[in-house]
């Protein structure tokens, strides 16, 4: 199973960055986890966006979904004609809120582009040979982490969250933990987000094989983040950058490599 980072930034992208978006490939399937601003362009560098089998959105903050409108345009106005409707899994009511920005015609086209399905805590979704299980975490409104497995390797994507038992249990025993690390250390506890140290504690307490820090504030110092994590977690750790690719290996974490 492979993970490719398409967007690593929190809230707004720095130079050369995009916001939250991650491609997971395995089990003869391709799924997109979150679709924040700039993600579709980066996805197109890696694979044909029309080859996606499903999209999963963690929660209703724009930096995690706003490129869904661009994806809708691609699906409905492909040169060969409208593509098949793409399964879109997201928190209840979010699809309707997304549609509120559109005209009546636009909303109809939006509905035609996607097969919208509500996520439910702990209810697994099968896409090809991948299984994606949403796990509710503590953040604004309804927010889910995603646990993805191909039957052998396991990835846990934390989404945005504070450090609570729910995210520790979601990440329990994963081979690779993709954990948000938005807050500088001095802001710990001031928002429902993790610092790099808290992401390291999460990886340690969950027994994760390896840790990738993501959802990084564009001005955060990455070397300082790695040093902070090293104080609490002794496994492999890196800070996500656009187009980083990881092969997730059962029992041994993840091996960082070039895009396939």
Domain ranges of the chain: 2-257
pLDDT at 193: 94
CA–CA separation, 40 and 71 (whole Å): 7
What's the average model confidence in pLDDT over 180-190? 89
CA–CA separation, 110 and 8 (whole Å): 26
pLDDT above 90 as % of the chain: 87
pLDDT at 257: 60
CA–CA separation, 97 and 107 (whole Å): 11
Q: What is the pTM of this model?
A: 0.95
What's the average model confidence in pLDDT over 105-133? 96
Per-residue confidence band for 259, with pLDDT thresholds at 50, 70 and 90: very low
Geometric angle at alpha carbon 246, from 44 and 204, rounded to 5°: 135
Neighbours of 52 (CB within 10 A): 21
What's the average model confidence in pLDDT over 20-49? 98
CATH of domain 2-257: 3.60.15.10
pLDDT at 258: 46
Residue 155 clears pLDDT 70, i.e. is over it: yes
pLDDT at 253: 64
Per-residue confidence band for 140, with pLDDT thresholds at 50, 70 and 90: confident
CA–CA separation, 187 and 34 (whole Å): 25
- Across the chain, mean pLDDT equals 94
Q: Which residues contact 177 (CB under 8 A, 6 or more apart)?
A: 155, 156, 158, 171, 199, 202, 203, 206, 208, 210, 211, 212
Per-residue confidence band for 42, with pLDDT thresholds at 50, 70 and 90: very high
Q: What is the 3-state secondary structure (H, E, C) of 1-65?
A: CEEEEEECECCCCCCCCCCCEEEEEECCEEEEEEECCCHHHHHHHHCCHHHCCEEECCCCCHHHC
What's the average model confidence in pLDDT over 176-201? 93
């Amino acid at each position: 199973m492979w993970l490719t980072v398409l967007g690593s930034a929190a809230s707004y992208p720095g130079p050369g960055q995009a916001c939250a978006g991650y491609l997971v490939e395995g089990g003869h399937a391709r799924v997109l986890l979150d679709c924040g601003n700039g993600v579709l362009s980066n996805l197109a560098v890696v694979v044909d966006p029309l080859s996606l089998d499903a999209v999963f959105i963690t929660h209703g903050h724009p930096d995690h979904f706003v490129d869904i409108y661009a994806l809708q345009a691609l699906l409905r106005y492909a040169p060969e004609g409208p593509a098949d409707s793409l399964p879109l899994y997201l928190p209840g009511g979010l699809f309707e809120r997304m549609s509120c920005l559109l005209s009546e015609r636009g909303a109809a086209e939006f509905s035609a582009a996607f097969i919208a399905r509500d996520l439910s805590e702990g209810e697994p979704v099968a896409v090809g040979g991948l299984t994606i299980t949403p796990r509710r975490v503590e953040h604004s409104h309804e927010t889910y982490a995603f646990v993805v497995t191909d039957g052998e390797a396991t990835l846990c994507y934390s989404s945005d969250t504070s450090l609570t038992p729910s995210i520790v249990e979601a990440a329990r025993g994963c081979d690779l933990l993709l954990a948000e690390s938005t807050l500088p250390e001095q802001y710990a506890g001031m928002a429902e987000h993790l610092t790099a140290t808290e992401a390291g504690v999460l990886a340690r307490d969950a027994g994760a094989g390896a840790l990738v820090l993501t959802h990084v504030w564009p001005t955060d110092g990455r070397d300082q983040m790695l040093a902070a994590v090293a104080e609490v977690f002794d496994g492999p750790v890196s800070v996500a950058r656009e187009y980083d690719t990881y092969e997730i290996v059962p029992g041994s974490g993840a091996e960082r490599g070039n895009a396939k």
